[in-house]
């Protein structure tokens, strides 16, 4: 039975297609802002500092934009041919034969339907086809929903960075 035949627990099927240059131009600023906001909230740095750091990081990782060698910027497409999100894959900088998920996002109106899970499963097929034997990613600690998704897909914590605010109590 497929997801569209009424099984509420079935994972929908998605396809991944290469992002076009114009889609990249529309995606990059939103991805940068979303990453910077999530990092700012998780790490406790000012948003403007996080945006500046994210811009430097993304420029270094994607010097040729959507055509950067070794990076796959993909659009997630659902069974009804709707573009529902984006996923960015590339080599893991720390592990051989490992595909790294640099970013994944499902558009707000499509969230909660299992499309993130389906996109990760599709990314696993991409990784296997490319000869990788594992996948890795980073997730900010406060993003509990994403952490649960990744754990349910078999990901395990490889390291955990923790922080404590030493802000003075207000009297």
- Indicate which CATH number applies to the domain containing 61: 3.40.630.30
Domain count, the chain: 1
Write the DSSP assignment of 72-99 as a string of letters: EEEEEE-TTS-EEEEEEEEE-SSSTTEE
Asked if residue 103 is part of any domain, the answer here is yes
Output the pTM of the full model.
Answer: 0.88
Q: What is the pLDDT along the chain (171 residues), one digit of tens a residue?
A: 234 445 556 789 999 999 999 999 999 999 999 999 999 999 889 999 999 999 999 999 999 999 999 999 999 999 999 999 999 999 999 999 999 999 999 999 999 999 999 999 999 999 999 999 999 999 998 999 999 999 999 999 998 888 777 877 776
- Stretch (H or E) spanning 105: strand 98-106
CB-based contact 114:3 (threshold 8 Å): yes
Which two tokens mark 56?
A: 């430097």
Asked if residue 74 is part of any domain, the answer here is yes
Asked if residue 158 is part of any domain, the answer here is no
Domain that holds residue 113: 13-152
């Amino acid at each position: 039975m497929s997801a569209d035949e009424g099984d509420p627990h079935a994972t929908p099927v998605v396809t991944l297609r290469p992002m076009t240059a114009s889609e990249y131009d529309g995606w990059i600023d939103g991805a940068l802002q979303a990453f910077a906001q999530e990092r700012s909230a998780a790490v406790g740095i000012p948003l403007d500092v996080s945006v500046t750091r994210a811009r430097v990081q993304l420029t270094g990782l994607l010097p040729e934009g959507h055509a950067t060698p070794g990076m796959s910027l993909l659009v997630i497409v659902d069974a009804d041919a709707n573009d529902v999100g984006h996923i960015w894959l590339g080599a893991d900088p720390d592990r051989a034969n490992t595909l790294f998920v640099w970013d994944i996002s499902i558009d707000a109106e499509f969230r909660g339907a299992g499309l993130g899970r389906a996109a990760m499963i599709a990314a696993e097929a991409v990784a296997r086809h490319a000869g990788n034997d594992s996948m890795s990613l980073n997730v900010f600690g406060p993003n509990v929903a994403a952490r649960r998704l990744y754990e349910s897909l078999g990901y395990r914590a490889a390291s955990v960075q923790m922080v404590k605010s030493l802000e003075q109590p207000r009297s």
